[in-house]
Structure 1
Amino acid sequence: MAGWSWAILFVAGLFEVGWAIGLKYADGFTRPLPSALTLVAMVLSVVLLSFAVRSLPLGTAYAVWTGIGTIGTAILGIVLFAEPATALRLGCIGLIVAGIVGLKLAG
């Protein structure tokens, strides 16, 4: 069951990336379709997280979920919105990746 929980958690993290990026496109929830898709992604992300924490430690699952969201959003911000890709910024993203891997290995 724990293997499925990690997969569910990963998908939940992807939906978190989706809603974070969706916020930019929703333009303060003034654009109907991006707003609706953003809200759906928010709900799916939290619901999937709730399924994952049934068998994963809460602190670990939450940290991994937010880490996936942070990494994905930062990378897509660079790709989609021309946000800076400085060495320091990329190094910090790498540290987040290392933290997620460490938490996964720890339990």
Structure 2
Amino acid sequence: MSAINERNTDRGRAWIMLLLAGAFEIGYALSVGSSKAFTVLSWSITAVIFFLLTLYFLSVALRTIDVGIGYAVWAGIGAVGAAAFGSILLHQTLTAVQVFWLAVIIAGVVWLKLADSVTLRSEKSRA
């Protein structure tokens, strides 16, 4: 396997780890909300487990992905996911304005991923 293909594979794995970290961040946020300020033992334990998982997967992803990009994507996934699933599972209200700004966050996360793509990186290195 060539060095470029190996780097692309590593970057792909890092992005998968980052997506997993984002998913665990959503679980953490929802668990913390359900723990009632850590007074409900089962939800408190669940929150701690999700917290450890999100930190682990984020740290693995940040071995390859720049910390600024990785953290922004992780936080965006967590924020949008917590708002969406909080609305569905916890019956929290989402207004049209909130949905609009969550869509802006999603667009930002997508643009960050695109900016980290191999094509753009190779164009940048040629310039």
TM over 0.5: yes
- Aligned counterpart in structure 1 of residue 37 of structure 2, from 28, 33, 37: 28
Q: Post-superposition shift, 1:102?
A: 0.5
Structure label with greater radius of gyration: 2
Q: Deviations over 1:28-84 (max 9, x none)?
A: 111111111100100110111000000111100000000000000010121122222
SS at 2:21 equivalent? helix
Seq. identity, %: 36
1:1-107 → structure 2 map (5 Å cutoff)? 1-107=10-116
TM-score (norm 2): 0.81
SS at 1:85 equivalent? coil
Task: Report what 2:120 is aligned to.
Answer: none
Aligned-partner Cα distance in 2 for 1:84–1:41: 24
Aligned-partner Cα distance in 2 for 1:34–1:82: 17
Aligned-partner Cα distance in 1 for 2:44–2:94: 28
Worse-superposed segment, 26-35 or 51-60: 26-35
Structure 1: where are the runs of 5+ without partners?
none
TM-score (norm 1): 0.95
Aligned-partner Cα distance in 2 for 1:45–1:55: 16
Amino acid at match of 1:72: G
Amino acid at match of 1:27: K
SS at 2:22 equivalent? helix
How many aligned residue pairs are there?
107
* Larger RCO, structure (CA 8 Å, separation 6 or more): 1
RMSD: 0.9
Q: Post-superposition shift, 1:26?
A: 1.1
Q: Post-superposition shift, 1:92?
A: 0.7
Aligned-partner Cα distance in 2 for 1:42–1:36: 10
